[in-house]
Amino acid sequence: MNINFARITCFSFVITIATLSSQTASQPPPPLNCELKSPCSCTMDDGSGDVDLSSLSGPSGQPMFKDVLVPEEGYYYSYSPCGSFTEVECQDAAACVLDENKAQSQQIGDAGRTSFNYDGDHVVVAYTSGEGVLKLTMVNLICDSTACDPIFVPNGEQGAGQFEMTLTTICACPGKCTASGPTSGCHSGHHSNGGSVGSISVGTILVIIFFATIVLYLTAGLAYMRFRKQSTGSDMIPNKEFWVVLPSHVLNGGKFVVSKILRKEANYDTI
């Protein structure tokens, strides 16, 4: 009797544990969110990092994106992901809309009145403006690790007092940006310039190498002619005869090319 009771108790315990485990496994994970860290950044609660727009600001008092037209409306939109700007009647604004003549404006987002959330696909930053009847601007932040230069697209008014915009940038990717800009993948100034090393172009490097070679050639040649050949004055110039006639050769060559372009007869034998 005691053995049967023990078996039943053990079996019931196993069934209970299995049931609880099944219920726990079937529960969906908590929704992902981006917790407000500052007016320009939020922290993903899955530990992937911060979405930091702090480096995306315009010149002092100016929007980063100014007067971008929505053709369907005929209105212009200005926006700064971080920091405030002033334009026409918009003061300390994060987002502003102007009429077709850019003579009147309406503030649709105050700098500092921001909130962040995750809609299942990307982070959305919301700006509000006004008292009583609020204006609401939603900016969809599209993560693109190649978008070192942010791309701003205003989508216009979606309803009474509700506006939508899209910002594609590497800084919408968690952990990819700080207040100084992208942490990796972009050259200085947020630009990814093809054919360059850092911020110096290939052409600049070639020019530097050319002039460095000329200086080295002249320095070594002058030293050789002075100390090995015991030359003095202009005779110290290495390959002096070549350098003396070089200007005339360049001049005559230029004349020949020009004459060919102008379809004039030229006799290269006289050069």
Please tell me whether residue 103 adopts helix, strand or coil conformation: coil
Residues forming beta bridges with residue 151, ordered by sequence position: 168
With beta carbons less than 8 A apart as the criterion, state whether 136 and 161 touch: yes
Between the alpha carbon of residue 68 and those of residues 89, 181, 265, the distances in Å are 17, 23, 56
d(CA 271, CA 266): 10
pLDDT category of residue 8 using cuts at 50, 70 and 90: very low
Q: In which residue ranges of the chain is CATH 2.70.130.10 found?
A: 34-188
Q: Which of 111, 182, 178 is nearest to 149 (CA)?
A: 182
Given this model, what pLDDT does residue 200 score?
A: 55
Handedness of CA 125, 130, 136, 138 (dihedral sign): negative
Q: Which two tokens stand for residue 166?
A: 């899209």
Quick check: pTM over 0.75? no
Q: pLDDT digits over 57-79, tens only?
A: 998 889 999 999 999 999 999 99
Query: How high is the pLDDT of residue 201?
Result: 58
**Which CATH topology does 34-188 take?**
Cation-dependent Mannose-6-phosphate Receptor; Chain A (2.70.130)
For residue 140, what are the CA distances in angstroms to 118, 153, 266?
10, 10, 67
Residue 135 contacts residue 106 (beta carbons within 8 Å): yes
pLDDT of 198 over the 50 cut: no
φ/ψ bin of 47: left (φ > 0), alpha (ψ from -120 to 50), beta (otherwise): left
Q: What is the pLDDT of residue 238?
A: 75
268: amino acid identity, one letter: Y
* Mean pLDDT over each residue of the chain, to the nearest integer: 81
Kindly state the percentage of the chain with pLDDT values over 90.
51
Q: Can you give the pLDDT at residue 195?
A: 38
To which residue do tokens 């993903």 refer? 44
Work out the average pLDDT over 91-108. Answer: 96
Mean per-residue pLDDT for 37-44? 95
